[in-house]
Structure 1
Amino acid sequence: MPGCDFKETFSPVVKPATIQTILSVTVSNGWQLRQVDVKNTFLNEDLIDKVFMQQPPGYVQYGHNGIVASRSSSGNIHLCQRKYIWDLLNKSSLANAKSVHTLMVNLSTLSKDEGDQLVDLVEYRSLVRALQYMVLTWPDIAYAINRVCQFMHAPTTAHMVVLKCILRYLHGTITYGLVFRWSDKLSLFGYANVNWGLDFDDRYSTTSYCVYFGHTLVSWCSKKQQVVSRSTVKAKYRSLVAATSDIAWLVSLLMELKLSFDNPPTV
């Protein structure tokens, strides 16, 4: 806006929760979507390309990893990474492998000493880094991805089996994704949980939480706590603090965007 912030520089990097919150508001209010694509990010030259365009009806694509957003006739938005998954399956030679419909149940019992050391570490590390982008639209694999990331320094054959199981799970649920549904009341609801001391290598607990805005999941997390909790109560309180902190940030975001919510946030 000339005279206000016309000469300010804005970073094009944004938190996924910001996009998901705005998409949730978009669906509930029946707004239309537009696409913005800046090709010369971080370059010191004038922008001469046209960067603002309207998407084809019912379809919009954004991001660098194939996140495709499609809009149904009812107004719901579905985020999917089908092409990105196919690329990973072809890269790992699992495109024709038998799919599975559940993740391995022994994820929490993985240990750094389980299995034999891998000779080639490049494939494991490359696939794990690529799978981290899947958490953007696949909240249910957040814990699994967090677990396999903890062994990137010295992966073993057992860790590779779990990694390929995740890929086979994605193969069987390739059309799944994140759905943004209409909601008559937009309020923040958070749910927090923790697995207490189930990491056999260091006995750290893992915090997990998810936050809904209306009927839509807009933020989630699964990560190890920074200290060892000597009781389940302490571990759960730390998980509760993490969820509350995220909700407090979402409240500040909504206030900054001049968006209101119907009821106080609930955790």
Structure 2
Amino acid sequence: MSQSVVTDRIEPNRGVIHWFRFASPYSFYPMAARLEPWFWILAIAFGIAGLWVGFFVAPTDAQQGEGYRIIFVHVPASWLSMFIYLVMAGWAAVGLALNTRLAGMWAQALAPTGALMAFLSLWTGAFWGKPMWGTWWVWDARLTSELILFFLYLGFIALQAAIDDPRRADKAGAIIALVGAINVPIIYFSVKWWNTLHQGSSVSMTKAPSMAMTMFTGMILMALCFWMYSIAVALRRVRAIILEREAHTDWVQQLPEVKA
């Protein structure tokens, strides 16, 4: 009986230790290689389904006509631009607090994809705004704060590229990421805090969506596509960063792709 009790108490800790080993670049690298293709497959599948529903199944909007269909790219890109920044800042904080190498690599890997999403959000918003507002750009609270987010991504990338020592670059980038994180809630709540041209959220966690179900379905499918794409690209990029930073180690030099 006592042996069974001791075993039961130890087993959960073994599981935790098993997952913690993936915090090492050596253990994470092969797992990332196995996971990446699955996320590419999911991204393609969700993308095809989302585009089909969004452009061929969803009805024409009564007020905005066919032009509203830009939301199937604009809204997911906007969501991901904010979400990726928070994840990037989270990894940067972990790396700063615990001095873990992989956390800094993850933050560096996520930044270009987050910048891409912010860029898509701004440009698709401009294409949407021209027929709706009669202008490509206004210094609207949400547009301006999203532009600041884009510059924060670029600043993070530029600062890390300017510092030769990766560990110092991670720490410097973490400070920008953490300070800039305050901009994310400003983007989200800007339409509530200020009188802006930008319309309010059509999707909320606390109430039913204020759009046709087919529109909502298409938007969610495209959001899942963007999410899976972001993970797949980040896995690819973090593997490249691992190879670059760990090039001096024996296990990297023994990899087939490095030998080739």
Question: TM-score interval w.r.t. the shorter chain?
Answer: under 0.3
TM-score (norm 1): 0.24
Whose radius of gyration is greater, 1 or 2? 2
**Higher strand proportion, which one?**
1
TM-score (norm 2): 0.25
**Using CA pairs below 8 Å that are at least 6 residues apart, which structure has the higher relative contact order?**
2
**Higher helix proportion, which one?**
2
